[in-house]
Each structure stands twice: as structure tokens, then as C-alpha cells.
Structure 1
Amino acid sequence: MRELIVSKRIEALATAVGHAESVCDIGCDHGYLSIYMVRKHICDKAYAMDLRVGPLSKARDNIHEYGLDDKIRTVLSDGFEAYEPRMGDTAVIAGMGGELIIDILANALAKGNLNGISNIILSPHTNVPMVREYVLSHGFVIDEEWLMYDEPKYYSIMRLKKGDSKDDKPYSRIELEYGRRLLEKKDPILLERTNKDIVKLKKVAESLRELHNTDIQKRIEQLQQQIKEKEDVRNLLCQ
């Protein structure tokens, strides 16, 4: 049996779950998150779910290799289509774009397939602000949020719970963009990423100025606005 070596991203996803009796891994790919969670006693059992036969077959092979056939069940499922309440109240949706995550949640909500789910861990690779806006407007609370770096990318992870928001006021545009929970705790990884973004934007703006082209002045002004916003966020994180 191979030594189980997983990415920092998978470790962070498992940490976000905390502990659960059973977890549904939606879009499980080769099943390593489910395997890691069971082996680390984060959950007693898991359901590795995917709509693709090939990756699900590979996940089944990996589960067998680590001797976890009695703990992890593979399920052919498009999102939550095959979910049943007996599978547990916790789900992870990760490793895909934000628009696809929204589609999965929207389809599940429309069909009542989330009735047994109370905790959802999301990690959208794109369109994170869009995901925040969607879940907040569809009966979820962003209970906690993390930002982590696994070379060469930053990954957002958020834990959702069902119910009315514990926050008194709606999210501002800045909070949707950067994450209220991350701003509240002055997240050092968010500060690191913001500093890098400022440096990149300034380099782009400077290179455009060197072209001496009046047609790109509007683009330079847009970049300056983005830089100003990120500098304001940086100041907030440093307070």
C-alpha cells in the first residue's frame, strides 16, 4: 500500500469539516479527500460521489488499496441527485469552478435534495464573490471562511450552515469580494495575497503608461481604482 500523501488543499478541506459521522464528497475525482478524512478519523464513513464513471472507478481502486471498502462507498451521482439523508448531514463541494458549484446547489435546492444537509464545505476555484452572493441569498450562512496557499494558487474555503444569518447587516460589495469572515479576523493570507495583487496591478499600470497611448487611459484609470481599493483593504487588515 502506498503512503497516503495529499495536497495542502485537501488537508485544509478536511480541517474545515472538523468532525462528522458521515461526509458526502461531491465531485470526488479519485477519492483522496474521502480516504484522508476516514484515515484521519475526521469522519467515520464517507460517500465518494461523482458523475463520471472513469474517476469514480479510480476512486474505487484507491479506496480498496487503502482497505477502506467498508468505510467509503462510491456513488455515481450528478451533484446531489443520488443523495439520501442516511448518508449524513455534511457535504464537501470542491475542486471546481464557482459557476458549477452554484449550478449544483441550485439544482439540489430546486429538487429538495438538500433537506438532510445542514453543513456544506465549498471551495470554488473561480468566481468566489459570486458564490458568496448566491449562498447568502439562498438560505445559507457563511459560518467560517479560510484562505490558503498551495503552490501555485490561493484557494478559498467556506463552511456553510442553513438558517438565518447571525449578521445584522447585509454583506457590502467589499465583503462579497474579499470575504467578511476573512476581513473580521484580519486573515494574514488575505493580506499576503492583497499585497501581491497591488504589486502586480502597479506593474501593469506602469507598463501601460510607457506606451503613451491616449486610448488606454481609461484602462489605466480602472487599474488605479483597483489599486486604491486593494490598498484600502490592506489598511483594514493591518489595523
Structure 2
Amino acid sequence: MLNSKRLTAIADYVAEGARVADIGSDHALLPIELVSRGTCPSAIAGEVNDGPLEAARRGIAAAGLGRVINARKGNGLEVLQPGEADTVTIAGMGGALIVSILEAGREAGKLEGVSQLVLQPNVGEELVRSWLLEQGWLLAEESILEEDGKYYEIVHALRQADAGARNEAIYGGEPLLSHLTADEDRQLKLKLGPYLARSKPSVFIEKWRSELRKMKRIEAQIGQSVTEDASKRRAAMAKEIRVIEEVLECTQTDMS
């Protein structure tokens, strides 16, 4: 059983019977959990670094799962053959790196046959949501949790025929704030998460209050400069701060 709330939450998104590939698997804790609990009949643990790869192989052997979990060395999705997995999990990386892994895999055909993505970026969540939207993946669910003083968002995406129309309803439709333009509203939903910004769980509020404190410190630092560029940057940040504060203050509403 996992001792990590973060990895447990990721595992809970994986569909029963899935053929999963965990990219950047580190010690292969997630594949071991998924196979041990009976969610997945088999799994691939991909790791680019020798140290974590050997640790993964030792953990897999200790769990007696060497026949059903295959630890492979490789960069990103290059450890996969097209059609070999239907679910990909990537956790514990920055959003930009996750996007680069997904895009390289898409271009190489490695996402062929993959119908489910479970992604947990440490930062840059909006980059992940933007890529999913651009590539036609349905944003099915998202969640947020706190563990050891850090906040983690998990994004669950599905490949579905009606993803375009459903994403339009998710990112379009009723704006988070009535005074925003359609483009401003979409960018805000990409940043905050459309489901999270609507439901506003307590951890979401805590995270963004913490982020706002950081943003205000940066705004004050920028304000010490008298250049025109600094003035524009400070005005843009002040506007972003006001918008996020307004979202946090709004009464909770359901997703439209």
C-alpha cells in the first residue's frame, strides 16, 4: 500500500484492466501499486536515469512482480511501442517537461492506442491543460491535494470522439467572472483549472491564497523599478491578482 496521498490519488484515476505505462517512474511505486491492487494486469515502468531504474527493478523483484511489470530505460515515451499501452501516467515533473514528453511521443506515434492520460505536474499546470485542449483530449476530471506542505493538481484526460464539443462546454460556456472576455475567461480556466475553479475545494483556496502572496511580493519588487516595461508588468500582474482574488471570493457554483 502506498504511503503517498499523491500517488494514491493518481492510481485511483486509472481504469480497471488498463495496460499502463508510467513515465518517469522513479522507484516504480505506482506500477507496483496498480498491479498489486489488481487494477492493472501488467505495467511498464519507464525511467531515463540508471539509479532510479535499478531501484525500480529491485522494488519490482521484491514485490514478486517481475513477470508483469517491465522496467525499461528510455527518454519519455520512447520506452513504448505503439499500441503497447492504453493508459499513460506521468507525475512529479514540471508541466513544460510533461508537455514535451507528450508532444515527442505524439510525433513518434507512441500515443497510438492510448485512450487515457493521468498527469500530475508539479508546476505549469496550465501548459498541460493547453496541450490537452489543442490536441483534442477531453479534460474528464481534475483534483488537487496537499501533501508535506506542497500542493499537487492531477489532470485526467480521455481520448473521445466528442472531446471537442465537450471541451468547448468546459472552457467556454458561463464565464468564471462576468466582466471577462471569452479569451480572458479561457486563459483563466486553463490556469486555475475549469473544474477546480468552479468547485473551489478548500485545498484549491489554500493553494491560490499562497500563490497570491508570492505574486504580491513579486509585484512589489517590480514596483521598485521606474522603467516603462516594469510599469506594464506590474499593471498586468496587479490585474491578474485582482481577477484571481475575485474568483476565490465568488460563491461556489456548479460546472455548467
Query: Please, what TM-score do these two structures have when normalized by structure 2?
Result: 0.80
Q: 2:198 aligns with which of 176, 181, 184?
A: 184
- In 2, the alpha carbon distance for the partners of 1:176 and 1:237 equals 20
Gap runs ≥5 in structure 1:
none
- In 2, the alpha carbon distance for the partners of 1:86 and 1:202 equals 47
Name the SS for the 1:189 alignment partner.
Answer: helix
Name the SS for the 1:132 alignment partner.
Answer: helix
Q: 2:245 aligns with which of 227, 231, 236?
A: 231
Measure how far apart 1:115 and its partner are: 0.9
Structure 1 segments (4+ residues) deviating >6 Å:
none
- In 2, the alpha carbon distance for the partners of 1:5 and 1:158 equals 20
- In 2, the alpha carbon distance for the partners of 1:79 and 1:200 equals 32
Flag the 1:73–1:226 CA change in 2: closer, same or farther, 3 A: same
Measure how far apart 1:32 and its partner are: 0.8
Is the counterpart of residue 60 in structure 1 residue 71 in structure 2? no
Q: Which amino acid aligns with 2:59?
A: N
Q: Deviations over 1:34-77 (max 9, x none)?
A: 11222222222211111223211110001111211122111223
Flag the 1:237–1:157 CA change in 2: closer, same or farther, 3 A: farther
Structure 1 match to 2:69: 72
Name the SS for the 1:126 alignment partner.
Answer: coil
Name whichever of 108-117 and 158-167 sits farther off.
Answer: 158-167
Measure how far apart 1:10 and its partner are: 0.8
Map 1:1-239 onto structure 2 (within 5 A).
5-85=2-82, 87-163=84-160, 164-165=163-164, 166-169=166-169, 170=171, 172-201=186-215, 215=226, 218=231, 221-236=235-250, 238=252
Measure how far apart 1:134 and its partner are: 1.5
Flag the 1:237–1:66 CA change in 2: closer, same or farther, 3 A: farther
Structure 1 match to 2:180: none
Flag the 1:237–1:91 CA change in 2: closer, same or farther, 3 A: farther
Q: Identity, % of aligned pairs?
A: 30
* Number of equivalenced pairs: 233
| 1:51/1:78 contact within 8 Å kept | yes
Q: Which amino acid aligns with 2:36?
A: R
- In 1, the alpha carbon distance for the partners of 2:130 and 2:34 equals 29
Query: Please, what TM-score do these two structures have when normalized by structure 1?
Result: 0.85
Gap runs ≥5 in structure 2:
173-185
- In 1, the alpha carbon distance for the partners of 2:18 and 2:213 equals 45
